[in-house]
Chains A and B, each alone.
Chain A
């Protein structure tokens, strides 16, 4: 037997895995099986969304740690010999996936963002980020099954087809073991105050600023745009012109605002990694060859001391 198996904590994650899983299952010429926790309806919906079979992992009693299913999942894999396991990269499933992989002595590609089927070898080449996002590593699993965790949001969700669900397509695997871990409580996460991760507009101060006092130029721009001020590593961690909590990049934080404007930012990969997901990236730099322009949507080649006041004036007129 064989198959491509997908495992997720909720419908959205499962539907995404089913879309990539379907294309891989077709290439392998095999079946697509979805595993859902506790929720039999989610399992049935997976069949509507393209799974050939679905399995619901059921707790004995109330919901608890996911590792109560670890022995049963491992047994199921050993018995049915799937080609590939695709698991949603959530905090809990990342841990579970690594533990399944260890028990199966299987290779696992963590946080896989792209899968390419190699027709000749009937294997899947998987891509993931490394070195804090500055590099792409392409790996293959030397084991069977091949395993990958996939961050939610990486693939489109599989659409529902009509008339797919038949009786008896959903199997049930009941929890066989207890966990050593006891869940004591669940707490709502406190939001960090004034987190620039939440800002819709981020104005980033780079080394193009000559002195700390000049940051007021960036602040004027931030005021007009109702944005937050951030900095590159030299400006925060080395010069301490801005607090380290405002450092964007590899050694700092990742932001995904609607608008990022880098002022005097050169655009080293370590910094760019932190703003990859911004909707619109803009740069002001007097060096037309600065790498930041290569990763920007809109760039102004000019001295920030000249450009920023003009920009503030222009924005004030328009807003």
Chain B
């Protein structure tokens, strides 16, 4: 993958071809998190998945390639177990993957993730558009994308729900309070996308077989200049409680009458 610069010559010729990077994260599937009777979080039976937001981002990247030509590279930072996610990502259509892998990469804060992604992308993967999910399904800090844009020194638009690429620029319809703002950014650029951007495909058997033949470039921690120290420290993670005082009723008609009266008293019957 030898390319002179991030902005390929085809851009100048006006040929709509794109080298897209899509970032994804392999996360705990929160549907498997249970709460113990004492109210603690139980991770004993959890499974992992590609963060939902990122599945839609991958789909958006693949569709853009289908429209404009070019390539899609899926990039992730994670522990060795995330290899499953790399294969899953490739079965969704990207041409190749770059996997920054280290046992410590499971617990990075958003600034560290952005720094690792930034180093990997600038050394391994020419690009003119980076697509990230708006946030990850586990921590949902919504920082990695914008931080990565700053790390690479490229323009950024977050919370995008529609993307078009033409003549070296990307048009991004981004959600803001109360309205949609249509932005135009020169490439190379980074966008973070909302789930509305595209509904992910369900990979078939053939896609899965194809995925195992695609190139995966692994990058170890020793190949990076530095992983910066964390800027955030997690003191605790505990189950969120919804605190309500439950008044209980039986199924007897008299109790149902009391129940309806209670609803009336609370002013929720119209």
Interface string of A29-44 (1 = CB under 8 A from B): 0000000000000000
In the complex, B166 has a CB within 8 A of chain A: no
Interface residue count on the B side (C-beta < 8 Å): 82
Interface string of B167-195 (1 = CB under 8 A from A): 00001011111111111111001001000
Overall SS of chain B's interface: mixed
* Residues on the B chain within 8 Å of A9, using CB: 177
Within 8 A of A (CB), among B220-270: 228-240, 242, 244-251, 253, 255-257, 259-260, 262-264, 266-270
Interface string of A301-313 (1 = CB under 8 A from B): 1110011001100
* Residues on the A chain within 8 Å of B155, using CB: 179-181
* Residues on the A chain within 8 Å of B174, using CB: 91
**Contact A184 B33, beta carbon cutoff 8 Å:** no
**Contact A200 B270, beta carbon cutoff 8 Å:** yes
Within 8 A of B (CB), among A169-184: 179-184
Q: Which of A189, A300, A306, A315 contacts B249 (CB 8 A)?
A: A300
Closest Cβ of chain B to A159, distance in Å, is: 24
Contact-size category for A: 35 or more
Rounded to whole angstroms, the CA-CA distance of A142 and B253 in the bound complex is: 59
* Residues on the B chain within 8 Å of A101, using CB: 111, 143, 147, 231
A102-B147, A135-B240 known; A314-B260 Cβ under 8 A: yes
Rounded to whole angstroms, the CA-CA distance of A225 and B110 in the bound complex is: 45
Rounded to whole angstroms, the CA-CA distance of A43 and B248 in the bound complex is: 50
- Chosen A-B contacts, 24 in total, with CB atoms closer than 8 Å, are A90-B176, A107-B231, A108-B231, A110-B142, A132-B30, A137-B234, A138-B237, A139-B235, A142-B232, A180-B155, A182-B183, A187-B182, A188-B179, A201-B268, A259-B269, A270-B31, A273-B240, A293-B248, A297-B244, A298-B246, A298-B249, A299-B248, A303-B251, A319-B269
Residues on A lying within 8 angstroms of B by beta carbon are: 9, 65, 67, 90-92, 94-95, 98-99, 101-103, 105-111, 125, 129-143, 179-189, 200-201, 225-226, 233, 250-251, 258-259, 269-270, 272-273, 276, 279-283, 288, 291, 293-303, 306-307, 310-311, 314-315, 318-319
